[in-house]
Structure 1
């Protein structure tokens, strides 16, 4: 029988969240939650939805992996020719969402996306496995391709090209960083009275507020 999705419900009861027990910096608070997600052995705890939009405001979203976080923001890497990169050029404002279902938690982040320095992109690229490095060279990301065989042949060509030399970072691939101006922490609670604590950047300082669920 077909499941009635409108009837799907879950009560949340694992934890609570209050302004009195969060850290003054949303980055520090996020790092605590991220480490707890890692310790809980959640699949891909650093997976996040990245939303971008065109100049006209037409949005798109996809899953990417967080690769660094610090007071400057949240970093990820991609092709500069990908759809998301093209949209970032048109509209540098974006949003991230982390959802850790097992912990009944969600984090929303909004801010401006900037391109990472070449040195940062070079350092991360060199940490990648060989296959991922070759894939970055071979993939015309977000473009239409005739077949998977076409991609595999491109990878084989680059494997041969770099057989006797180091695989350097492609000029069309590198990092971006979302610099947050708003971060919201969501903790599921019973009867849909969820805890929502928001950090809002105002005049260079973080204002902490509770939101209605």
Structure 2
């Protein structure tokens, strides 16, 4: 008696494909929209500042937003804000790129970890253009005259480029200091697809073992 390996192998291949599609589903836009950011200031002490900025290019850029939430860390009072930004930290900050300079300058106590989630959205996802918008984060000392972590400036940045003909909108994430990290956050739909794909793989493997034992 021959085990029905053909159908089982086909099921297994489909399950693997489903899991791979789930893992790469965010690539449909070219890049994810949701990220988690962490900053480790354990090598520093005293007071300092986090400088959040969301700046469009010199020419009019398609609309874009950056929503920051899930803050953790020793945040103090707001020092200054400018342009199209609202909310509070810790809490939720919402940046737009309509102003010439959109900046949030926040007092913090150094020596620990800071973290937040950031979600990008707006017209740049579906509007043609060739001018992007950049979100950046810098860490400064108590005098606000020297950068920490990266003496040349920002710890990290995200470069948002709009839809451009056949090229999809994209988000390029970069870090410039070892104390900064960026990781993509899968959306709920992606987790469901991945879980479903893995469940299919497990089911196919169990069927294959049973078929081999009864052959």
- Structure number with larger C-alpha Rg: 2
Shared fold per TM-score greater than 0.5: no
User: Greater helix percent: which structure?
Assistant: 1
TM-score (norm 1): 0.26
Query: Comparing both chains, which one has the higher relative contact order based on Cα–Cα distances under 8 Å and sequence gaps of 6 or more?
Result: 2
